[in-house]
Structure formats: C-alpha cells, structure tokens
Amino acid sequence: MDFFSHALLPYLLGRFLRIRRDYLAALVLGGIAPDLDVLVVWINQIHPTSYLIVHRGFTHTFLFGFFVAAILLFLVSRGWIKTRSRGIVTEDLQFSATTLAYSYAGIISHLFLDFLTSGGVPLFYPLTAARYSAEIFSRIEIVIMIATLLFMAKLFRDRPEMKIDKKVSAAFLIFLLVISGIRLEGKDMANGFHDDGFKIYPDSNLFQWIMLKNDSNNNSFLISKFNIFTGLLPDNASYLHQNAPLHKDGLDEALKRAESLPQVKLFRWRSSAVAINASEKEGNWIIEYYDPVIVNQYMNSWRPLNASSRGFGSIQVMANETEAELL
C-alpha cells in the first residue's frame, strides 16, 4: 500500500474512535514509520548484504517495528521537532507508555495493510525471513492512492482544525470497501478457472489477475491472465527456468558465483518466482534474474509504475568461474 494510505487510514480510525489528539498523532506516526526504511536502504547500496535492509524489510516486522516506532516517537516528541512541524505533529505529544502503545498499534495497521498487498512482509524476521501475503491488492493500488491524495488535500485545506466532513469520510470508506470487494471477488473468480497448481497474484489493473504455475516437467513458469469482465485472456506466456545456449562451458560455475551475491539472494527473497536468461559475452556470462509475475503485473501499467518495476523485477549479473558483479 502507498505511504499516504498508511497515514490516512489510522487517522480515520483514530477520529472514528475519538481518541485524544496526542494519541492520534502517535497512531499516525506508527502508521507511516515502517516506510521510513527508505532512509536506510542506501546501506545495502554501499555495503551489500543479504540482511533485510531493503524496502519492506526489517522495519516491516513485529519485532523491529516496535523499535522503529519507539525511535520515531521519541524524536518527534522533542520540543525542537514540534516547534518546526507547523502543526503537523501535535504540541502535546509526549513519549510515554501509552503513546508508544498507540504508535505500535499504527505499526500493526501498516503491517496488516502490506500483508494484504502483493509481495507481503517478513512479519517474524529475524526468526524467519519468510514473507506473508494475502495477495489481494497490488503493491500500489492506483485508484486508492488517488482517492487518498484527494481526501488528504481536502483535509489539509481545512487546517488548522483539520475537520472531516462526515459525508466525505463515509464516502471514502465506502469507496475502500467497494475496491476491496472487487479485489476479493476477482480473486475468487480467478481461482475457479484453474487447478490448485496455479497461484493467484493481483495485477496492477484493478480488474485483472496474474496466474502462475511452476511447470517442473517442462522446466518453465506458465503465466495466464484473468479479467473479471472477459474471463481468461488469450495472452498466455511461458518462461524457462533457465534460458541459456546449449554450449554451457563455465555457466554452472558462473551461476554459483552469481548466486553468492547478496543482491541475488535478496532478489530471490522478494520474488514470487525467479527465471534466468544467460548469454556469453567476451568470456563472461551475462545473467539476468527476473520475476515473471512482476513482469506481467506491470507490463501495461501506468508508465511511472512500469519504469519503477524494472529495477524491482529484474537484476543483471556479469560472472565467470572466479568472480561475479552486479551490472
């Protein structure tokens, strides 16, 4: 889910429950805190590791999420922060057990929303790095993000009171319920079109779903698409587990070197499926790792999403029998 929705939904929940302004501020802070991992992911760029110092990594967990909430709450409750926040952070916000509890409740809301989206989150890291996902929403639901931005624009226009029109708020919540209903109904319909060997993933198109099957007999991934209105789409695709020339001298060793890279380990961790294209060039192997699900999710999506998915859905490595490096 997008950053703005993570802020707005806890805010609406807090206003509905009529909690105090300082508790509401703590709840919203917790709602956005996990996505502040963007401030530390550069560490993996400078010193690559297989630790989950990535977006939707260690901050999106029950354990580390608590410490992230505590650190952020402590910082924004300092006087010098509040005086510069121009009313965004309430002046009576204090660091206490109660505000920390509300902040952690915001963390839980964030984890729950990301659990509903494609890719999921590693809830129990460092005990296990497994990602958990209901695969109901796309990573970013464009219609929800646009609606959230419009609602927040109205909210900030009404500052400093930031009053919410009850009719507008009710309309927004009904809209979210409708979108959720479309997604749930679409997934249920898609599940009815294939056997249990297929896994279902939300497409960037609200009304469309990606269906993936690991066909081990043919060493390939099979991709089908389902649309709520038209049923199964004709543009099926097949992706070889490993697409390489018949002449494979040195490829096995090059793959071993590539697989040892932390960037490749993290790519495998965050991917729904991993296919490989390999080609030989001047004594080295150019090895592309890509996720067929992400490739199809964003194939015909909004251009900015399509562009951002390229770095997220594939990586390239140059490797030989002795070394490997990310391209």
Q: What is the DSSP string of 268-301?
A: HHH-S--EEEEEEETTEEEEEEE-HHHHHHTTTS
Tallying the residues shown for the chain, one arrives at 327
pLDDT value at 71 more than 90: yes
Read off the pLDDT of residues 112-156 as tens digits, 9 standing for 90 and up: 999 999 999 999 999 999 999 999 999 889 999 999 998 888 777
For the chain, domain boundaries: 3-182, 196-239, 240-326
Average pLDDT over residues 90-94: 73
pLDDT value at 101 more than 90: yes
pLDDT value at 87 more than 60: no
pLDDT value at 105 more than 60: yes
Residues near 84 by beta carbon (within 8 Å), at least 6 away in sequence: none
Give the pLDDT confidence score for residue 165 in this predicted structure.
65
Residue bearing the bigger pLDDT, 3 or 84:
3
Give the pLDDT confidence score for residue 227 in this predicted structure.
95
Q: Would you say the C-alpha torsion 258, 263, 141, 304 has a positive or negative sign?
A: negative
Average pLDDT over residues 168-192: 91
Give the pLDDT confidence score for residue 305 in this predicted structure.
58
Q: Among 205, 199, 200, which residue's Cα sits nearest to residue 187?
A: 200
Most confident of 81-95, 246-260, 265-279: 265-279
Give the pLDDT confidence score for residue 18 in this predicted structure.
86
User: Are 137 and 1 within 8 A, CB to CB?
Assistant: yes
Average confidence score pLDDT of the chain: 88
Average pLDDT over residues 287-308: 76
**Which tokens go with 325?**
């490096």
Residue 67: pLDDT band by 50, 70, 90 thresholds? Answer: very high
Give the pLDDT confidence score for residue 287 in this predicted structure.
95
Give the pLDDT confidence score for residue 222 in this predicted structure.
94
Q: Where are the beta strands (DSSP E) in the chain?
A: 198-202, 208-215, 220-227, 231-232, 237-240, 242-243, 275-281, 284-290, 314-319, 324-326
Average pLDDT over residues 299-321: 72
User: What pTM, to 2 d.p., does this model score?
Assistant: 0.91
Among 22-26, 97-101, 118-122, 134-138, name the one with the lowest average pLDDT: 22-26
